[in-house]
Structure 1
Amino acid sequence: MSSDPIQPWEFVSRDDGALASSRHWVFDTARALLTQPLDIAIGDILRSIGTSAGADRAWMFEYEHDYLRFRNTHEWSSESAGSFVQDLQNVPVTMIGWLHQHLVAGQAVMINDIDALPRSAGPLRAEFVRQNNKSVLSVPMFHDGRLVACIGFDAVEAPRRWSGEIAELFSCADLIAAARYGRSQIGVGEASLAPDALIYLRRANGVRGTPLADIVGLRSSKDYTEVWLVDGTMALDLRTLTQWLGLLPAGGFVRIHRTAVVNHQFVRDIERRGSDAWQLRVHDFKELWPVSRSGRAELRARLGI
């Protein structure tokens, strides 16, 4: 990695021997993985290496098997940096398409100048700006030759360029991948048989347990909320939309209007009509859902457009 001049972004291979580090991250990572429950260990690893690297955040995200979506899974952040681990859940990989093409090729990506990112990285740049990032390091995580996740650092308080840390971060990623994805699949199979967590709809004649993933969208109906489900039915819930906003995971649902929230995984089309009005087609519903101006930015971010 060249030190003069510093480029807006740099791509680094794990085989770059010039990036050797004298830190003890690999030993500390292995010890944490051997002595603690996995998720707790990963959180402690991120805190330890993030602090050692002078980062303001250290994080990990995972891909779905088909590479269509990704989600944040673990994060450590300093008190001043703020946490975003819950925000990016089941997000289209198109949001990070520019970054993803280099990760899947096995390259770490050191972004030194957020504002200088190419136009093709527009959605990614917008997310970095939202998080107030000044510099970002992303290191791919592979298991059995396949990209499964990414680990990295954010600099928020001031720009920072990591170089000697990259080789060791590759090794830490290898250890985490072996622990997280290489364990016996027996437990994984058993876990997959567990029923989906239910959210209970309050109705005049009782309650109805519904998997959160079956909720397509919600609309305010005075003091109640219309809950539209994947089977095409609508349940009138006795809670207000404001109350629902406190129940829904922010990463999966987007408020597109003061009266409406949608599960972004069910968005099929965006139609622009007169006066630049936006309307959504969700799931297989015939009726279009209007999008207010204030709801467009978050919707674009969640869809990666």
Structure 2
Amino acid sequence: MAGSPFPQPQKSKRVQPREAQERSEDPTLLDNGFWEPLALAAAQTDASLDRALAHIGPFYRADRVWVGRYNEELTHFWGASDWVNTGVPSHIQEIQGIPVEFIGDAHGKFLKGEAVIIPDVERMPRQRRALQAELRREGVRATFSYPLMHSGNLIGFFGFDYVREATSWTAADSKRIPTLASYLAALLRRGRSISPPAGPPAAPDRSVFVNEQGSMQALSLEEILFIEADGDYTRVHLADGNCCFERRSLRSWIGQLPPERFMRVHQSYLVQAARIVRLDRGPRWTLHLQDVAQAIPVGRAFRHSLRLHMTF
């Protein structure tokens, strides 16, 4: 794909009511009946965000258009709503309670009010390989996303995915984006069913959520034997022999799990301390866990904390 099909829009910013009215009177924005269906969607008390996306997606010749929302601490995000073209699968239910580290520098751009433009997924830089892997999994060839702001604060983002082929935008398409973002932000704020919790996904006591066949499932902490880093992802090894492949970093797990129960023993391993049954010391230290055949390596930087735990 030569160049970018998406002209760079203006930065997102707080829009005052008078400015919004002036924008709505801009003749360059009153094109092809774009805004009238959105006004009707906004008047609906039920599923207004869904109705709006169903109009926006075809207008921008997209295969998917979606909205995500942050929690108040801006540490995680949730998929709020999406529209998909005929024959294109939806992945919105899989994007629930995802740590912001997963999208890398895109989160920083959203904080600055900037668009994130990926004209060719196959040419993404190495530091975005986790996001690239997810976009490939979803079949995305090109994507555009933009922040949603309320009273000067970041509350979410929306975007367009092109699965078949990216259609080049016109200057009017690009100029419309900041006003469209203000409109979607208002719908997002109004929606009751799409408000995420203040922190990570709520779960019963002594439980966490993991992705299981496209849905978030509660998992008892007792079931976790150890967690192994796999690039920008992690593998959660369970007592029943199963393994969950998660789109989150080991550092994210460390911040979520109780430190009195889970120990980091290596750059790539986090283990349940109560499962430790033996330590082999030699040139290379290794741990053996209850019901785990695999030996877990112990990094030199973590030997001292392991000594304190094992009291020797």
TM-score (norm 2): 0.60
Q: List per-residue Cα deviations over 1:54-88 (Å, max 9, x = no partner).
A: 11101000111122111111111123221100111
CA drift of 1:31 comes to: 2.0
Within-5 A mapping of 1:198-217 = 211-212=203-204, 214-216=206-208
Q: Is the 8 A contact 1:8 1:113 kept in 2?
A: no
Q: Tell me the residue number matched to 1:110.
A: 117
SS in 2 for 1:12: coil
SS in 1 for 2:161: strand
CA drift of 1:291 comes to: 12
**Cα 1:254–1:44, aligned 2, differ >3 Å: closer, same or farther?**
farther
Name the count of aligned residue pairs: 230
- Is 1:13 the equivalent of 2:10? yes
**Cα 1:214–1:166, aligned 2, differ >3 Å: closer, same or farther?**
farther
Name the amino acid aligned to 1:228: S
2:271 aligned residue (253, 267, 281): 281
Moved beyond 6 Å, runs of 4+? 262-266, 288-292
CA drift of 1:11 comes to: 4.3
- Is 1:75 the equivalent of 2:86? no
**Cα 1:91–1:49, aligned 2, differ >3 Å: closer, same or farther?**
same
CA distance in 2, matches of 1:267, 1:146: 27
Q: List per-residue Cα deviations over 1:143-202 (Å, max 9, x = no partner).
A: 00011111111010123333432332322221232243269xxx89xx98xxx99xxxxx
1:90 aligned residue (80, 93, 97): 97
SS in 2 for 1:216: strand
Name the amino acid aligned to 1:177: A
Q: Is the 8 A contact 1:9 1:113 kept in 2?
A: no
TM-score (norm 1): 0.61
Q: Is the 8 A contact 1:70 1:91 kept in 2?
A: yes
**Cα 1:5–1:254, aligned 2, differ >3 Å: closer, same or farther?**
closer
SS in 2 for 1:138: strand
SS in 1 for 2:9: strand
Q: Tell me the residue number matched to 2:33.
A: 24
**Cα 1:157–1:145, aligned 2, differ >3 Å: closer, same or farther?**
same
Q: Is the 8 A contact 2:5 2:168 kept in 1?
A: no
**Cα 1:171–1:120, aligned 2, differ >3 Å: closer, same or farther?**
same
SS in 1 for 2:112: coil
CA distance in 2, matches of 1:109, 1:116: 14
CA distance in 1, matches of 2:293, 2:42: 45
- Structure 2: segments with no counterpart, 5+ residues: 13-22, 211-217, 224-233, 255-262, 277-288, 295-312
**Cα 1:214–1:54, aligned 2, differ >3 Å: closer, same or farther?**
farther
CA drift of 1:91 comes to: 0.8
**Cα 1:216–1:168, aligned 2, differ >3 Å: closer, same or farther?**
same
CA drift of 1:107 comes to: 1.8
Q: Tell me the residue number matched to 1:166.
A: 174
Q: Tell me the residue number matched to 1:101.
A: 108
